Every structure is written in structure tokens, then in C-alpha cells.
Amino acid sequence: MEQPRFPASSVIICIGEQKVAAGRRTGPKSQDRGASQASGRDFVEDEYIEITGITKKQAGEYQCTAYNEVSDPDVRKVEVIVNYPPFIPDTKNVGVAVGREGILQCEAAAVPPPDFEWYKEDRRLLNGLHGIQIKSNEDRSVLTFFNVSEEDYGNYTCVAVNKLGISNTSVLLFDRGAVLDGNNNASGGMTASLWLLVILFVHFLFKF
């Protein structure tokens, strides 16, 4: 009698989908078999784990274990990757005096990691032009003004996009000496003007 075997694999799914996360064993029938999340939060004594209504919390490593009377248990792991569109949390407006350095930041959670873009009104900003620098990684984009001028003050839109969706937020760069009405928190749900949203939607369609 052979040792039971599970093929190693990975699974990529989207939020809300239904997916079987643990693969069927190969080889002779085992007397016992089980599948669990590596963190130990769940255990199913069966050849499959069926996950319904996928959420981000269910991403991670799952472990399949097969037992029989011949040899030690065989263990294989399945990596579950949950894809979801970008989400941008609330951002804060930034006050900077003329001639000083100004930094606007935008963070986004998404799988796969998003691409970032910055806009002022209908104009997309490019790294290295007009005295600005844009640096982005997998979850954050930073727009830096090395020498803020009066013309730099205004509303900026950060856009995060991946193959599943698009999200944006507005950040106000203002003169620190100016008085703002209300608080300085820019809601993550604040949208750009209608024409900018149309541009972004068309860009998203052609990109993916």
C-alpha cells in the first residue's frame, strides 16, 4: 500500500465567490483525512473544504493531511489568494507655507496591488515635471512638492486601480496660514468632478 499524497497547489479567487480550497488526494484511499487553515481556526474532516462567500479574512495557507496505516501522515498546503478591488481609507488635507516642501499621501488596500495616478483638476500629474516627485509602491503613493508655490494650492485626486475596480480620494493642499471652513479631513468617499470620473472610467475599461 502506498502513502497517500496530496498535490501542492495555490488558488486565486475574488471576494464573494464560492470555491473549494483543499484539493482531492491522490493515491490509495486513506482512513482519515482532514483540511484546516494553517492558523488553526478551522478544521474539516473531509477531502474538501468548501468556502462560500469569500472574504479577505479567508485568505491564507490551508493544510491538507492524509492518514493511513502504512506510513506517516502526508501533509500538503494550499495557498488561497483573495483578490479584491482597491479601497482607500480617509485621507487628510495638508497645509504648507509657500516655499516649503509639501507631501500628499494616498494609501490603498487591494489584491492584486493597484496602480496609482495623481490628478489636479483634469490634468494628470507626471513624476519629475513641474517640480514634483511621485513615488509609489504596492500600497501607497506619495506626491512631493519640493518648493510649494501659490499655483500648487488646490484639490488633488489620487486614483488607485487594479483589474477588479477603481477607487479615488481627494486631498487639499492649502496655505497653512489660510482658514479652512470645517475640519481638515478629506473623506475617502469624496469623488472627483463628473468629467474626471468619466475619464477614469474610460481609462479603466481600456486598461483591462
**DSSP per residue, the chain:** -PPPB---EEEEEETT--EE-SPPPBSSPPSEEEEEETTSS-EE-SS--EE-S--GGG-EEEEEEEE-SSSSPEEEEEEEEEEEEEE---EE-EE--TTS-EEEEEE-EEESPPEEEEEETTEE--TTSTTEEEEE-SSEEEEEESS--GGG-EEEEEEEEETTEEEEEEEEEE-TTSPPSS-SEEPTTPPPPHHHHHHHHHHHHHH-
Produce one character per residue of 172-205: b if its CB has 16 or more CB atoms within 10 Å, e if not.
bbbeeeeeeeeeeebebebebeeebeebbeeeee
CA angle 200, 104, 202 (to 5 degrees): 5
Q: What is the pLDDT of residue 68?
A: 72
Among residues 41, 57, 84, which one ends one of the domains?
A: 84
User: Which three cell numbers, joined as nine digits, stand for 6?
Assistant: 496530496
d(CA 167, CA 136): 16
**Domain match, 164 and 119 both:** yes
Which of these, 111, 119, 201, lies nearest to 163 by C-alpha position? 111
**Domain match, 166 and 70 both:** no
Among residues 84, 100, 128, which one ends one of the domains?
A: 84
**Domain match, 80 and 92 both:** no
Which residue range is the domain that position 101 belongs to? 88-207
Q: What is the pLDDT of residue 167?
A: 96
User: Which three cell numbers, joined as nine digits, stand for 153?
Assistant: 494650492
**Domain match, 47 and 110 both:** no
113: in domain: yes
1: in domain: no
User: Which three cell numbers, joined as nine digits, stand for 17?
Assistant: 465567490
Q: What total of structural domains would you count in the chain? A: 2
**Domain match, 78 and 96 both:** no
Question: Which domain CATH number covers 49?
Answer: 2.60.40.10
What pLDDT tens digit does each residue of the chain (208 aa) get? Answer: 445 454 556 677 787 776 655 544 444 444 444 445 555 555 556 666 777 778 888 888 888 887 777 777 778 888 888 999 999 998 999 999 999 999 999 999 999 999 999 999 889 999 999 899 999 999 999 999 999 999 999 999 999 999 999 999 999 999 987 654 444 444 433 444 555 666 666 666 666 6
